[in-house]
Each structure stands twice: as structure tokens, then as C-alpha cells.
Structure 1
Amino acid sequence: MTRFRTLALLLALLLAVTAAPAVVRAQGPVDLANAKPGRLMSQPIDEEYTKKIKEYTTEPFFLSPLVDYMPAAKGIPTPKAVLGDIAGAPTKLPYSKEVYEYMRLLAKSTPRAKVVSIGTTEEGREMIAVAVASEALMAKLEENRTKLAKLADPRTIQMNDAEADRIAAEVAPVYYITGTIHSTEAGAPTALMELAYRLAVDESPYVRNIREHVITLITPIVEVDGRDRVVDLYNWHVKHPGETYPGPLYWGKYVAHDNNRDAMGMTLKLTQNVLNTYVSWKAMALHDLHESVAYLYDNTIGDGPFNAWLDPLVTNEWQLIGWNNVQEMTRYGMPGVFAHGTFDTWSPGYLMFIAATHNGISRLYETFGNGGTAETVERTLGPNDTERTWYKQNPPLPKVKWSLRNNNNYEQTGLLVSLSYVANNRRQLMRNFYEKSKRSIQKAKTEGPAAYILSANDPRPGAQAKLLEVMRKQAVEISRATSAFTAQVPVKRTAAATAGRSGRGGAAADTTKPATSEARQFPAGSYIIRMDQPYSRIADALLDYQYWSPQDPQKSPYDDTGWTFPESFAVQAVRVTDSKILDVPMELVTGSLTPKGGVTGTGMVYAINHNADNALATLRYALASANFQAAEEAFEAGGQKFNRGSFLISNVSADALDNATKELGLKAYALTVMPVIKTHPLRAARVAVLHTWTSTQTEGWWRMALDFEKIPYDYISTQDVAKDANLNAKYDVILFGPTSSAQQIVDGMPMWRNPMPWKVTPETPNLTAFAQTDDMRPGLGLTGVATLKAFVEKGGVLLTSNSTSDFALQFGLTNGVSANNPRRGEVVGTLLRSKIVDETSPIVYGIPDNLAIYTDDGGSFNISAMRGGGGGRRGGGGGGGSRATGRGTPDDPDVVQGRPALEPQFAAAERAPVQPWQYAPITEDQLRTPINIIPPDQRPRAVLRFGEQRDLLVSGLLDGGADIAQRAVVVDSPLGKGHVVLFGNNPMWRGETIGSYFLVFNTILNHDNLNAGRKLDPR
């Protein structure tokens, strides 16, 4: 079969090279703008291909006049040349190399198509973009791009509206389509292969209108690594009918479904490659294809709230294009096409949102897929999908036979309708493109702000550099002040001034009006993010605060509600509304953003201040043979002040340290003598990252963080733990990031039916080499639980987060700790304020006392000195006392009826108040039967807690918060000679929480000295 297929490809290429494409034109003038959909009868069709389109489409109403035929063009092969069958054929999912092979074959066959490489994935697989347009447009791509660049940056034409009108009238918009960012949503590549062909060869007036007026740019596969894995698994399924086969546990190297949440942090190469392509081509729209909903949901027209930083022009464009899609496809007789729905467009983290935040139009379709397969199967839908609503007047049918071809028909029809709308309304849309860009520049002096300032004296310059690098990846211009300057900045609000931000349940807001701004000095070298630039909106959206009202009609936020990057990076950024800031002398920054580092002075001991910059952890592993000590208290030396936890380094050459610190942007100070302070060793711990075989979605961000900071680790599974009775021989610290539920961690998957291997084999060559097993089903098991417990008891450290903290609590790996779970919906992907409980704990060395931490649900802990949990008083300081219900006011004593008044001889000694993050003191009664009293050195140690309720909210949704405020969120729970460090939050979330990474890194570096600074309870 391979030989015949190769011969067929060679013949197709030969025909393409030796014979010019046969172009069939309609006779006489044609009104392209008003062309009706359907084939041009004078153009031949591929009869066999057309027949199979109808054969594989399960109902005639799942076709449209745009895709119910396949035009033929001499010398230009259809997708069948590579696939062996038509696009959307049963049991055929092509690998990325097949998709690319066809796209390049098409480009070699016609001047109307061109393939460009746009980068690679983390595993080195190529990503491509395919441009399709008329010969005339393709010959002038660069000229067209130059014109588009003037509309994208109106400063280049001095904001001249007349000139913009002239360009808008003659330029061709670029419409960028992306497919299969979600690997199990597998239909887009074949639909886009066929769409590219149709756009290149179909001579119907409807398609000609698109081709002659729009440059269609296609990335057929965004998540290439995951695509090839899904095809591996599906092909294995086809070859082994009747056997259960695994789902794609890994898509990309790090991230699965949340790869479509990276458009803020820009951590993944696929996101960076798409954004770079969008910006460099000056695209007008980005249209991302997904599969989940019957039959086509134009979900850009989602429910509210809309992102607050977008130009209203783009939200109106969503409506114009989306409802036109619904109207046209309904007119074609295709059921189940709708818009609106419940998806909100608040978060700018989705891939398609790259366009909306860069002055384009974001677009997204959800079509009906069959779960990563090419099967034709009977599908039954529930009432929520099939009942009519005001926005779904032609809903899907309750039961249908659904095929990949049906899905491809809907995808292509919807795209062609959108492209036709753009072709017919290109002048207006390009004028809007210019207008949005112009208004983004003008916003510095209209709605504001004028700029954001990131001071040169920020205590965490490394984190500041990382934030600025995000801005650079977003194509935001960064400036730097060339001299010191003064700016009018907002007065920093106190806790009293911010009261009431927490929504329902919060304290009343102060109605007085204090001074709103003050003059503040900033040193030379301070960074300024000007808002008078084309991409100011994405900068504003990431640097500003978010507020999601508890009273908002949308009660089910689709994703995170708060993300303020300066807060989550623990960096200072000042929002300035006074436009005079734009007159400050400054220069555009084009070079490295790494802070200046290196060694100052001479000596045998070197001190580096601990400011929780992540590069400190990198340095420890880079200089593995050096002697690092951690200062257990703050000190001064060499004219410098050093925080608790600062590094004291010896046994390293000055040159080696100088080179390393310059590369990392760290400042080291040589000291002539070792400071006389208490220290302990900082050792390069042996680290393992533990994963399950049920979910790796969230822990992948942890691996990415470690890889980025060059912290070595072994990647082990729960099955490995269950088989290894001596983990301490290999590891000092095991990181167990969020994954499945506690019970699933232990049980794994049901053991009935056949084993499910995840291994690199000739049948599945694209599965992950870095994680393999003969059978995914077994979990940790009780043997593994015992092994983990023994690892900790012998001196190891187990660090857990969210669901894995629940696992540690439920399976006996902690003493005196219980979960405190707030009610559902109280927070949803929110930044909350934290406070340090015990500043002597090595876990919080260098951490600011008001760190904003990300939490998806507000989970926290109660602690107790008694075995079994418990904790401090309920509530979070939102009012009222701690006395029992009874007579009088909150400050009065109760009076019990029917007995004498309480005389002094009957009164118990007054107890010290117990805060929500504390455990209650041991009583005399408890000491008389001490069996359940946890020994003082084994009691849980609250390290970090949530802030008071009145200033708990940083960004996003907080509905109340009384049962979250002041609760412990990071707890160090000793167990034997080791520790279980419990996080109620996720400190390593989507590359967006740089500021809390060092809570993890401190645990690693101080793994064998976590008891440092601890004062034991004498009782």
C-alpha cells in the first residue's frame, strides 16, 4: 500500500508541475459580493469524492450548498492524495506529518497556497501556517502586510483617518484559523485540509469572492504533540476492537486541556507561536476550532460579563459575525446552529483572545465531535441540548447517527460563511481594525490609564524581569526612564479604605473621600509601560485589578475571575492616570531584561539577600558543590541589609559566582568574615515529582516551573512509589501537585477488563517517553500510602497541594490537621491576600507578608494539638465575638437561669483567644488523659494564612469570605523525622503565580531544616 500511495503522490506532483491549473471562470461579469452559495456548473467536480461526501454524511440536512460537492482542478490534488480517502472518512485520523504533507503538496501545486513554518513545540514538532488567496494577493503578500501594518499601528500614518480609509479600501484582511489545540477534539485537521483545497480551486463566485478579497491563514494543528498521541491511541483502538484503550493522559509535554488558558502567561511554545504569527501577519481575526457541543456553537457570543478592557467595537463585531453565521447556516437547513450560551468572555486566557486583546476579532466554534475518534456512532442528547431557548430556535435532534464527516461539514460551512462576511464587509472591518488600534493608543489620554510604572528599586528585580518578559511576549512596548522623575500616583489604600471590596459579608465601606493621589519619586531606570501604544489593552488587562461582583447575573464563571499579574508575581506596579507621565524622558527597551548581577567586593564569604526571586533556587543547583548556608535571622554586613533566609556562600571561586550571578541577575556581596548569626545548610535536595495515571493536567505546570528554573528532578508515578520500599535512598523531597481526588489517587482506575498500557511501541510511537507504564489502571494502593508515610517518617519531605493535600489528610499522613472547605462559588479562580503566621519558618524566607495567592476554591486548613484535627474559632473577623449564644450584647456575660449567679470561685480562668489559624491550648482535663495529645514537636505549624476578611480580596470573585479569612493556607505538619507540607492553594498555577513559587523552592532548599526557628509548646 505504501508503494502505491507514494506513486500516486509522485504522479500528482508531476501533474502539478507540468500542467498549469485549469481555471474555470464564469462568463461575463459576476457580482461576487452577492454571489449565492453553490458550485459553478461549468467547473468539473470530483465525482468520486463528491459521492463519498454524501455517503459519509449521515443526513442530507448535515450538508450545505458550500460543501456538498468537491470541485476539481487539473493538477491540484485533493486531500485524498494523502489520506487515501476523503476528509472526514470513517476510521481515518491523519498524523501531523500527513496533514503537513498534504498542505505542502497543495502549495507546490498552485500559486494560490503557501506553507510557512511558525515554530516548534516543546518536543520539537513543527507548527505551520498555510496562506490561501488569489494569485494576485499571494504575489503581493508583503505589500499587503506593509499596508496592514499601518492600520495596526496608526502612529506610522500620524493617526490620519483619511489615509486609513484609503488603505482600508484596498487592503486584504488576514483571517487566521487555528485547529485542534485540544487534542481530543480531533476533526479540525481534515476539515482544514479540505477547506484549504476548496479556497484554492473552487471557482464558484461565492468562494472566488473570498479568495480574491481575504487572505485565509490556517494552522491546522496547534497542539501537535498531543495530536500525534491521540492518533496513536485511536489507531491502536482500531487495531484492537473490543479492548478498552487509554485516553490521552498527556497532550503536550506539560499541559493538556489548559493549553487553551495560556494566552495571558504565554508559557507554552504553541501560544507564543500563534501570537507571533497573528502579530507578524497583522491578522484581523483569530478563529479557533473546538469540539464539544451539538452541532455548532458560535461561542464568542457568550454570556456576560465581557472582558472589561476590550474596545466595545470588538464585542459588537462578535454579534455581527456570529448572528450572521446562525442566520446563514439555518437558511441552509442545518439544524443545531446557535450563539450566546453560557460561556462568559471575561478571562483573556483563551487562545482566540489573542485577537481581542490585540485589536482584532476573536472567534471560536464548538462543533460536535466524537471524542477523539473517527467513528460514526449513534449519539443521544439530553433536554438541555435539544430544548428550544430564545437563542436556540433550531436545536439539535434528540438522537442522530453522527460522523466525522458531519463535523467537517459544519466546520467548513461555518468558516466559509464567516470568510464570506469578512470579504463582503472588509472595508468596514478593516476600518474598525484601524479604529481599535487608534483608540488603544488614545486611551492613555481618554479613559486611561496613561501608563504603569515598575520601579527600578523593586525589591524583587528578578520577578519584575519575568513580568516584563510576559509583556514582551505579548508584543507590548517597554520603556525605561533615563533619569529620575516624579509622578502623580494613587494613594495606597489602607485596609479600612478597601473594606467592602469582598462583596456580600464584607465590612461596610468607608464613605469618606481621602486624597486620591500624591507625588512620588521614581529612580532612573524605572520601567514604564505606556498606554499610548497599539497593544495597550493586553498590558492594561494583565496589570490592572479585576472585580467580579457577587451579584453578577453570571453565577458560573467559566474560568478564573482574577489574575492581576503584579500581585501574583509579587512585583510593584503603579497605575498612573496623569498623562504627564508620557512626557518623562525614556527610551524603548529592546535588549535583555535580566537585572544587573555579579559579585561586589572581595572576601571569602558571599552574601545574597533572600528576596524570593526564583533565580536563587537556580543558583543553588548551578553551584552544587559550593557551601550554602541560610541565615536564620536578618542581619547587616558590608553596608547591606539582608533578610532572614539570605544565602551565605563559601567554597566557590569569585569568578564562578560572578559568572553565575551575572547570568541570573543576582547581586552577591563579598564579606571578609562570616556574620555571627545562626545558620543552617542549604542543600541541593534530591527532588521527585510524583504523578498519577489518572490526571496530569495541573501538575504539568509544576514540571514546567522546575524545568524553567533548572531544578533537576525525577518524574515518578504512584505505581513507582508502591513498588519502592526505600524512597529515602533516592529522594529528599517529593512534590505531589494537584491531580485526581484522594480516593482516585489510591484506587486508580477500575481493574476490570484489559490492561491499558501507556508505552512507546511501534504501534504507539508518539506516547511520552518520559512517563510509561504497562498498565495505567493501578493506583497508589494502600502499600504505596504506607511507603509514602515511611518516606516522611524517615526524614523525607512530602509537599502537597489542593487534592493531594486532601489525600494526605484522609490517608493518615498528618496529625492535627483537617480541611476547611468554604461553600461552593465563594471564590472561583481568585487572588486572595495572605499573611505570614510564623516568619521564622524557612518555608516563608524572603516571602512578602502580603503575598497575593491564587486559589480556585478558597480551601484552607484547621489545626489542632489533638489527634484528629479541629482548630480555632469559626469566622474570619467579620464582626461579632466568640462567646456562645445567650443573653446580652456580644461583650456581656451570659446568665444561666435556675441557678445562683456565677461567683468568682466558680469561674474558670480566662482563656487566651484562639485565632482561626491557631490550635487551642491544651487544657488540664486533656492532660489527665493525654493519649490523643500530639507531642509538641509533631504538632502542625501554620506558616501562611489568609488575610482578614475586610482586605481578603485582591482580584476576582469573593462572595463573603468569612469562612476563608484568617484560615491557615500553608501548614507544615511534622511526621516522625520528616514533614508533610500542605498547601490549600496551588502555588504554581499556569505560569501566572511566580510570586508564590518560592514557597515550594524554600521547602526544597531547607528540606532537612524545616524546624528552624520553631518554638515548641511546653504543654
Structure 2
Amino acid sequence: MLLLGVGLFALANAASAEPISPKVGTITAPSEAFAQEPGSDYFLANYDAYEAYLKKLATQSDRMKLVDIGKSAEGRTMWVAIVSAPANLAKLDHYKDIARKLAKAEVKTEAEAQALATEGKAIVWIDAGMHASETVTTQSQIHVLYRMLTGTDAETMRVLNDEIVLFGQDNPDGLQLIADWYMRNPVKTDREFRTIPRLYQKYIGHDNNRDSFMVQMPETEAVNRQLFREWFPQIVFNQHQTGPAGMVVFVPPFRDPFNYNYNPIVMTELQEVGSAMHSRLVSEEKGGSGMRSAAPYSTWHNGMERSVAYFHNSIGLLTEIIGGPTPEKIPLIADTQLARSDEPLPIAPGDWHLKDSLEYQWSLDRAVMDYASRNRERLLMNIWRMGHQAIAKGNTDSWTTTPKRVDALKEAGKDAKADEGYVGYNSRAREGMVASSLYASVLKDPAKRDPRGYVLSPEQRDMPTTITFLNALIKNGVDVDRATAPFTAGGKRYPAGSYVVKTAQAYRPHVIDMFEPQDHPHDAEYPGGPPKAPYDITGYTLAYQMGVTFDRVLDGFSGAFERVPDLMTVAPGRVIGAGKAGWLVGHEANNAFLLTNRLLKAGVPVSWIEPETKAGGKTLAPGAIWVPASPAASGILASSTRQLGIDAYAVAKAPTGAKLALKPVRVGLVDRYGGVIAAGWTRWVLEQYEFPFSVVYPQELDAGNLNAKYDVLLFADGTVPSTAGGPYPGGYRFGMPDAKTIPAEYRGWLGEVTPEKTLPSVAAFAKAGGTVVTVGSANRLATLLDPQIQPALVTKKPDGTLAALDKKAFYIPGAILSAKVDPRQPLAYGMTPTVDIFFDESQPFTLSGTAAKKVAWFEGPAPLRSGWAVGQQRLNGTVAVTDVDLGRGKLFAMGPEVTQRAQPYATFKLLFNGLIYGPAVAATR
């Protein structure tokens, strides 16, 4: 295909001029620095080569400064190349200070802000490589950097003068893995990277772009620090692929719905930038761009890099482009050939090469930089305005209009006559009119106003988890305060040590989004039609997922508060009392499992006390941990209680209630070739809580004799293949490579969990005393293991097999629901009688027989707490989590995703208890 614009391989001629005041000679071109020029067919540059090139450029150009921002999960250095005019680079701290003052609205008046905006520089973040298999972005960035460091045209010089561009690489480990895997094959036409053996981020693969508000991964923390605590860019450009079929690239604007918490200036500016990007492509006759309806992307979910930007008053851009090192074709799709508003310039079908994508990517990057240059002062002023408005909203009565409030307005309008006297409105408009008096009584109902702040008392059931929650806010640049003296808020007295998160701050949208429920609209394909799938999940309120206790304060309040300066560590726990018999520890804190695992690893006896017990003047709920006195136990308790922020009670005599003696466990975490993201998240969680485990692949399961190596087999969501249209959605599959085409060390990872081979081995394992834990879609295996467990929300097909309900009848695409729990059961020790549980097209159960116990269940017609649910009343009476005896062993079936993306700390205990409880029971049988 003919390249339009400046050809990539004419680059040496197009930008051969030396940069202003080069440090050392000329700038090395990509064609000279790599084994082949990035953008060549059948070639990928890996991170080692990319990093070396960055370092070389940093020594050659006075337009670039290279900054180390942290380490990746595998220990590689993450670099940001800061590109600007030499005079700007000499004053980076000054411009960073201006960006912070404006983004955080630290200046109070318009005049002060305007003075800073006039002096300041636009800050633009442009990254690459978030999803390593999306190879265009990093290969493109290499050329973009070279062009920006060597170009002397008027536009380049203006951009360099007006702004500071931060070029980042989000996933060094993935780039190295993907490029090395692709290049390993000497036969060019056989090169591919789709069959990599594991996830391209050590733990979470593609979900590295779902971690932005939780900030669990080191790469996310490094990037977020640059975005919201260091540089505060007005534009965050997160580049991806692949583009819509029959087209080249998706470019914003996005489809609805947008989230109701952020400032609408973000959306209007986003549309401006997106339009500038489309216009640039069209003006250069680069066809095949699409927007809005051309792809499913929306701006609802907070967890992605470009979308978390909206909640920080920054313009978040996402592009999705086609291309890769192996040439491909643009297919002819009839509908894409008819120009329309969302696809302004169709492109002809034909051959496509990586260098073609790189030319488009250059135009897109250039359009963003040009927009930032031309709108420098306005961008700086508007980020201040959004922050200033957020602070004002937090200091006054304010309301957020959501679908539920609009529905309430319509309902109230049925009984109130609409205002008369309006003329010039068509009949359709008149049909929608309601009495204007309802605006104040419904949409401005005083009881429904937004909080002025949130107070988290130190009397938390699980303070270490609360600190993790607050740290997630801090990692996102949110201001968190700590009370240094008692104070009153909302008519309630709080002690010193309480944490306060006020909404009168620039990042108010993010604060609200983390504490308040998401109210996703009912989004149908057409009126009365099936629900339209959202882009990612709809309900994710982090305070709910983590089980944090907080109060919403609707009126203004003050007190002796000090700003938390940086990430916190939990206050040290204590050993309370002087008893010599042993120690009792409550089951409420997740960190109690860390203590338990350390004790078991050291060979120290540990038990759970089945009834309530008393210690230190407190009543400990069922499941309290009992540790008999010993020198080994004393040392571990003394150090671990301090580090983990949990208390142990030294008692004078052993508790008399029934005990369950625990044992060290051997966990087999099931995965598959290529990696299952949910299993990767689970692996990370197990490592954080020091559970001993090994990764198990289907071939090993099929071979049997599993009890000799494992006490528990854990099947995360997606590890058991689902039948097409069956009752357990998810569990999708990619094809397995031919064993002969991959290194011998990975061939043992091939295979799938099957009813024919795997089921008999797993059933034998359980009957002989093993524990099987199934989560989410993996519960297809639970149903096969024990017919007492059946999917609850199903319909029977003509052939007698079961299928999930039609989505018009039941559809919950990622939301938070309220579930009932029985904390007297070992699987639920340490939990409260009601818990917020994440549910993503999950399948609850019906139980029969007496061997299956109901541990968690749904009760009532409206369990939805945050997000979107169609037919939620159908959950009433269904079981979420069950405990089943299988011979001498146990089966714990957990319908909802109790560890989804390592966010729902409140339901981690269901998994953690299961890993320990099942083997303990088996040891006593």
C-alpha cells in the first residue's frame, strides 16, 4: 500500500538537519541503532535495544532528558523520555511546579491562575507498550522520538517551545518477552507472538490496563506517580491496538455513557482533541479512522490509564490501530465504505505493513502535540478551572444527577402537571416536560446531596486493609488527612487518629468515584431490546469492595487535621496481656492469614476456635486463632504483630471451645499455556499473603496421584473451558500451539481441563481428602464434580442441556451486590453477616441434598449496590458460595469472582479460609 505523507524510510532525508546545539555530533537514526529498522516487516525491537537507544539519544540531544521512574515487576528500569526545548529542560522543576499548582488548584483566583498559565508549558503524556502484543506503539515511539529530536520545521519548533512531552513505556517486561518470542524463529514468515507461553505482564497480562485506581502493580504505581503526583499532564495519550475491522484506527470521541462524576470540560476538550486527530488524518488523506459507534469504547470505568485521567481533570485519549511486524490485509467490509460522521474517510482494502501503521501513529501523535501547543494556555487554565470548581463543589451543597435521580424525576412528574406557557416546542419535547418545581424537590433533594467528605474511624475491623485503601487514593494524588485531636462531623464525635477524605479538592471526581456507588444507565441496543455490553465493568466502588467502614458527611466540618504526606504503613500491632498459656488473634484482618502462614511454615501449632471466645476484655468471633505458647511462636508473634498491624492477646489458659487444628497447606493453582489473567491476579494475591503454592497445568492434573503433591487445587475464573451458550459464561480459549513449534520447556503446559481426563483425577483427589476450590466460570467443574450443585439462573434447551438466561432477562456485567453470609461457618470466619461481593456475569447455585452448605447467598429483590443489573430480582434465594463434602475432601464453589483483579479484599477471606480449612478438616477425618 502506498504510504501517504512523509514515508518512514525516507526519514533520513525528511529530517536530516542537526538539532539545535547537539551535545555530541548528530542524532543516531533508528536505522543505525537497531539490527533492523523498527517498522520493518518481520522485525521487532525488544526492550534491551529500546532502552539502549534511549540512553544513546539522551547523550546526543539537548532536547531530551531521560528519567528513571521505577522498576517493572521483573526488575527492569522504566524510563520516561522528556522532550522539550533546551531552555524548558533547564527549568523542568519550575514548570512542574506550575503544572502542580494549576492541576491541584492551589492558587485561588482566576488572575493568579492566568498568570501561571501564561508562563507555564502544556504537559503531554504519550506512552507505548501497555499491552505488549500491541506492537505498533513502541516501534512507533522510537521514530517519533527521533523525529522530535531532529526536526527543525516550524511546527516541531513551536511544539518544543510550548510544551513538555513525556514519552513513557508502560510494560518493559512484556516488550522484551513479545519481541524475543517473535524473533526467535529464523524463518521470517513463521514468526508470531500469539503463542507466548505466559502473560506479558508477570501477573496480570492485559489487565495491566485495569489497575489504575487500585494501583497494585509496580508499573501502574510508577506511571500514576508521574501523572498525578509529579507532572500532572493536561493530556494523557494511551496508545493501543487493534483497530476496527475494515478500518485502520479508532480515535476518540467515545460512545456513551460517560461517568457522571467528572467535570464535563474533560469531555468537551476530549472531543476537540479527537476531532483534531481525525482532521489531521483526513487532511493527509490517511483514511480508515473511526469514532464513537465504530467501536465499543466508552468513558465509564475508572480503572484504565486513559479513563482514570478523566477523574483527575485530564484529557484521556485512547487510540486502537491495526498492524504488526507480520504484513496483513485490510478486508473489504461493505458498511465501512459508506462515509458517515463516525467514519469520515473510508479506506480501500489492500495490503498493510507495520511501517504504514507507524506513519498513522506519527500523525496522531503530531496532532495531539499540535493541539496542546495551540491551546497551551487554555489547557492550563481549564485544568485549574476544573480543580477550582471541584473544590467549590466540595465546600457547598452539590448534587450529582444520575439515572436513578432522573427516573425519580420522571416518576414524580406523573403526578405533577407540567408548566404551561412554553411555545415553540415540538410534540415530542412537550411529552418529556415535567413541572419545573420538581427540579428543586427531586434533583436538588437535600437528602440526596453529595458528601462534603468521608470519615474513616480508627475502629476498623481490618485496619491494614483500610490503610491499603487509603494508599490507593494517595497513589492517585488524592489528599488524605489524619485527625490529631477529636472532632465532630455530621453530629458524630470522632477520635484522634481518624482519617478524613474531604471532597473539597481538585481530584474530587476520583474521591466520589471510589466511595459512592456507580449508577450505570440501562443501555439497550434499541428501545425494548437486549442490553448493550458495556466497555468493561459497570460497578467497582473501591470502598465497598474492600469492606472499609466510613461515614458520609453531608455538611461542612473542620478539625485539627494534618495532611498524610505520603504512602502509609499500618500502625504496629501489639501483644496484649501477660498470660503464659498462648495467644489468641482475631480472624477479622486479612493480615491474620499472613501471621498464620508464617506460623505454619515454622512448624508452630495453630488452631481455629469454633465458638466465640474472650480475650483482653473483648469477645472474639468464631474462628479466632489460637497459638499455644512456645519460643518459636513468641518470636514470630512479636515481630509479625508489629509489622502486620494486628494484635495478639496473651492469655493465662487455653480456650475451652472446640478447636480445628490447622496444617501447612500445599496449594496447586491451576493455569494454562499462555496464562489466564484471573489465575495471575490470584497468584499475586497468594504471594502477598505468603500462601505456599505451585502452578499446575492440565497435563499434570490428568496424570493423577494429585494428593501426593497437593492439599488444595484452586481453579480461578477462566481456567475451565465453558461450553458455547452454556450456563457458565467466560472461560474463553485461544488455540494451543503445535508442541513442535515451541521450546521443550513449555510443552508440559499445553492442554485443557476436560471432563474426560481431568474430571476423574480431580474427583479422586477430593474423595481422598483433597480440597477443590472453583471460582466464577470454573464452576462448570463444580457442577460436574457434585450434582448437588446446579446453576440457578438457566433455561433448558430443546436438547435438554442447560443455557444461561437470555440477557434481556438477566444480565449483570460487572457490578457489586450485597450478599448474606454465615460467619459461624469456617469458610466465612472473620466476615460480617452482610458483605459486598463482586459479580460479573457470574452464575449462582441451587443446592440439593444435605452435604452442601449455604455459606453466602442473595436475599431480597434488589441486591445491587453499585453498577448495572438487569433482572436482579432473580438472584433472590440463590446461593453465591457453598461448602460441599466430597468423600474425605471438600469442594468450595464460589460463583462470584471473590478475588477479581485483587480488589475485593472484603471477600478474600472466602478463598483464604478455604485454602486452610479444607486440608485441616481432611487431616481430622
TM over 0.5: yes
The DSSP-based 3-state class of the residue aligned with 2:838 is strand
Q: Percent identity?
A: 24
d(CA) in 1 for partners of 2:300, 2:307: 10
How far is the alpha carbon of 1:746 from its aligned partner? Answer: 12
Aligned partner of 2:499 among 524, 527, 535: 527
Q: Which residue of structure 1 lines up, in the alignment, with residue 199 of structure 2?
A: 250
Amino acid in structure 2 at the alignment position of 1:630: W
Equivalent residue, structure 1, for 2:178? 230
TM-aligned CA distance change 1:993 to 1:232, over 3 Å: same
Contact 2:213-2:473 within 8 A present in 1 as well: no
Residue 628 of structure 1 pairs with residue 602 of structure 2: no
Answering whether residue 716 of structure 2 is matched by residue 737 of structure 1, we say: yes
Query: Are 2:489 and 1:487 aligned?
Result: yes
- State the partner residue of 1:850: 834
What secondary structure, in the 3-state scheme, does the structure 1 residue paired with 2:867 have? strand
Q: Which residue of structure 1 lines up, in the alignment, with residue 559 of structure 2?
A: 584
- Consecutive unaligned residues of structure 1, counting only runs of 5 or more, are 1-57, 489-518, 761-771, 866-935, 1015-1019
In structure 2, do the counterparts of structure 1 residues 578 and 795 end up closer, same or farther at CA, with 3 Å as the change threshold? same
Q: Secondary structure at the match of 1:851?
A: strand
Q: CA deviation at 1:351?
A: 1.1
Instruction: Summarize the alignment of residues 543-692 of structure 1 with structure 2, pairs less than 5 Å apart.
Output: 543-550=515-522, 555-579=532-556, 581=557, 583-590=558-565, 592-624=568-600, 625-653=603-631, 654-692=634-672
Query: Would you say the 8 A contact 2:63–2:85 is kept in 1?
Result: yes
2:796 aligned residue: none
**CA RMSD of the aligned region, Å?**
2.7
Preserved CA contact (<8 Å) 1:859 1:964: no
Q: Identify the residue that residue 975 of structure 1 maps to in structure 2.
A: 886
1:218 and 2:167 matched: yes
1:27 maps to none
Match of 1:117 among 56, 68, 77: 68
Deviates most, 679-688 or 652-661? 652-661
Aligned residue type for 2:390 = S
**Is residue 314 of structure 2 the alignment partner of residue 314 of structure 1?**
no
Out of 761, 765, 769, the residue aligned to residue 791 of structure 1 is: 765
Q: Does 1:143 align with 2:94?
A: yes
What is the alpha-carbon distance in structure 2 between the residues aligned to residue 738 and residue 530 of structure 1? 37
Please, what TM-score do these two structures have when normalized by structure 1?
A: 0.78
Q: SS of the counterpart of 2:16?
A: coil
**Aligned residue for 1:956?**
867
Matched ranges for 1:490-501 at <5 A: none
Verify: 1:806 aligned to 2:717, yes or no: no
Q: Look up the match of 1:498.
A: none
- How far residue 111 of structure 1 moved from its aligned partner, in angstroms, is 0.6
Residue of 237, 243, 258 corresponding to 1:287: 237
CA distance in 2, matches of 1:408, 1:118: 26
Aligned-partner SS, 2:834: coil
Q: TM-score, normalised by structure 2?
A: 0.85
Distance 1:222 1:846, change over 3 A: same
Going from structure 1 to structure 2, the CA distance change for 1:72 and 1:433 (only over 3 Å counts) comes to same
- Write the mapping of 1:183-582 to structure 2, written as runs, cut at 5 A: 183-219=132-168, 221-239=169-187, 241-242=189-190, 247-248=195-196, 249-279=198-228, 280-294=230-244, 295=247, 297-341=249-293, 342-370=296-324, 374-383=325-334, 385-397=336-348, 399-446=349-396, 447=398, 448-488=450-490, 519-550=491-522, 555-579=532-556, 581=557
CA 1:536–1:483 in 2, change beyond 3 Å: closer, same or farther?
A: same
Q: Using a 3 Å threshold, how does the CA distance of structure 1 residues 588 and 379 change in structure 2: closer, same or farther?
A: same
Q: What's the secondary structure of 1:996's corresponding residue?
A: helix
Note the alpha carbon deviations across 1:745-781, whole angstroms, 9 max, x for none.
Answer: 9998878955343567xxxxxxxxxxx4356356567
Instruction: Please give the secondary structure, in 1, of the residue aligned with 2:918.
Output: coil
State the secondary structure of the residue aligned to 1:357: helix
User: In 1, Cα distance between the equivalents of 2:193 and 2:345?
Assistant: 36
Distance 1:758 1:989, change over 3 A: farther
1:59 is aligned to 2:29: no
Question: Does the C-alpha gap of structure 1 residues 442 and 195 become closer, same or farther in structure 2, counting only changes over 3 Å?
Answer: same
Amino acid at match of 1:408: L
Aligned residue type for 1:817 = I
Change (3 A) 1:826 1:605: farther
1:576-624 Cα offsets, whole Å, 9 max, x none, are 2211x2x122222237341441101111344545343210110011122
SS at match of 1:742: coil
Deviations 1:868-896 (A, max 9, x none): xxxxxxxxxxxxxxxxxxxxxxxxxxxxx
Q: 1:115 to 1:754 in 2, by over 3 A?
A: same
Residue in structure 2 matching 1:703, options 683, 687, 694: 683
Partner of 2:818: 833
SS of residue matched to 1:963:
helix
Q: CA deviation at 1:794?
A: 0.6
Matched position secondary structure for 2:866: strand
Distance 1:394-1:1010 versus aligned 2 partners, 3 A rule: farther
Q: Does 1:714 align with 2:694?
A: yes
The structure that has the greater radius of gyration is: 1
**Which letter does structure 1 place at the counterpart of 2:838?**
Y
Aligned to 1:905: none
Q: Is the 8 A contact 2:573 2:644 kept in 1?
A: yes
Provide the rounded CA distance (Å) in 2 between the counterparts of 1:985 and 1:470: 23
* 1:543 CA displacement: 1.4
User: Partner amino acid for 2:919?
Assistant: D
Which residue identity lines up with residue 758 of structure 2 in the other structure? G
Residues 27-66 of structure 1 mapped to structure 2, 5 A cutoff: 58-61=1-4
Determine the C-alpha separation between the residues in 1 that align with 2:496 and 2:187: 67
Partner amino acid, structure 1, of 2:870: D
5+ long unaligned stretches in structure 2: 19-25, 399-449, 526-530, 724-729, 794-804
User: Alpha carbons of 1:747 and 1:985: their partners in 2 closer, same or farther (altered >3 Å)?
Assistant: closer
The question of whether the paired residues in 2 share the 8 Å contact of 1:245 and 1:756 is answered with: no
Higher mean alpha-carbon deviation, 269-278 vs 298-307, is at: 298-307
Equivalent position SS for 1:444 = helix
| CA–CA distance in structure 2, aligned partners of residues 378 and 752 of structure 1 | 23
2:848 to 861, 864, 876: 864
1:72 partner SS:
coil
Picking from 82, 89, 95, the partner of 2:40 is 89
1:70 is aligned to: 14
Cα drift, residue 1006 of structure 1 = 1.3
Change in 2 beyond 3 A, CA 1:706/1:204: same
Letter in 2 for 1:524: A
CA contact (8 A) 2:183 2:191 kept: no
CA distance in 2, matches of 1:186, 1:176: 19
Deviates more, 1:524-533 or 1:293-302: 293-302
Q: Distance in 2 between matches of 1:469 and 1:845?
A: 26
**Conserved in 2, the CA contact under 8 Å of 1:237 and 1:245?**
no
Pairing partner for 2:104 from 144, 150, 153: 153
Alpha-carbon distance in 2 for matches of 1:726, 1:66: 59
Q: Deviations over 1:693-718 (max 9, x none)?
A: 25411111101111111222112212
Instruction: Give yes or no for contact 2:843–2:896 (8 Å, CA) kept in 1.
Output: yes
